[in-house]
Amino acid sequence: MTEEPRLSAQEMIEQLEPSFSLKRRIRAVVALSAGLAGAVFVTALWLGESGLPGRTGLAFGLFIVICLTWAGYGGWLLTRRVPLFATDQVIAAWIGLTASVATTAVVAAIAVQRGRGLALALVVGGLFVATALTLAVRAHGRRAALLRRVRELTDGDAGKPWES
């Protein structure tokens, strides 16, 4: 009877979450490209219009920051060469949650200034915030499960760089 080859703890960990899978590369390139394209588009739109109200400038600035954040996330993800254990998903979820809360706040403020549409802004914004919050909770749960599995595989070895 032949014995199956056993994987080392490190090999098992690498199989849990490949450090640079095709799916992760595509996600990183999409985030980087979309973020840069969005920032360029909104900046060009902002610079092409003169005499915009302050709240419009605030909204454009917010959208540019959000776009650059996604671009930074994509660039960061492309440079990672180690298993992330769902850290990338947690970061993406927090970016999404922050962007949805900030956008909802700006749209609600504009609705208050105009004196109409506040209920619709809050309902739609609330749906986006609730969805982003759900994704953040799921991402944190997945990361925690992966880290528990890593601890099980390594039997509590010291010096775990993925927990920092």
| 92 and 151 together in one domain | yes
Residues 6+ apart with CB under 8 A from 133: 97
Same domain? For 94 and 71 the reply is no
Tell me which of 55, 81, 107 is where a domain ends: 81
Kindly list the averaged pLDDT for each block of 10 residues, start to end, along the chain of length 164. Answer: 61 59 85 96 92 86 95 90 79 95 93 93 96 96 88 65 52
Q: What is the per-residue pLDDT for 134?
A: 97
Estimate the crossing angle of helix 54-79 against helix 22-48, to 10 degrees: 160
Within a domain: residue 10?
Answer: no
Task: Please state the domain count of the chain.
Answer: 2
Same domain? 77 vs 136:
no
Q: Which two tokens stand for residue 95?
A: 């970016």
User: Can you give the residue range of the structural domain that contains 34?
Assistant: 21-81
Query: Is residue 90 located within the same domain as residue 149?
Result: yes
d(CA 135, CA 148): 20
Q: What is the structure's pLDDT at 12?
A: 62
Does any domain span residue 3? no
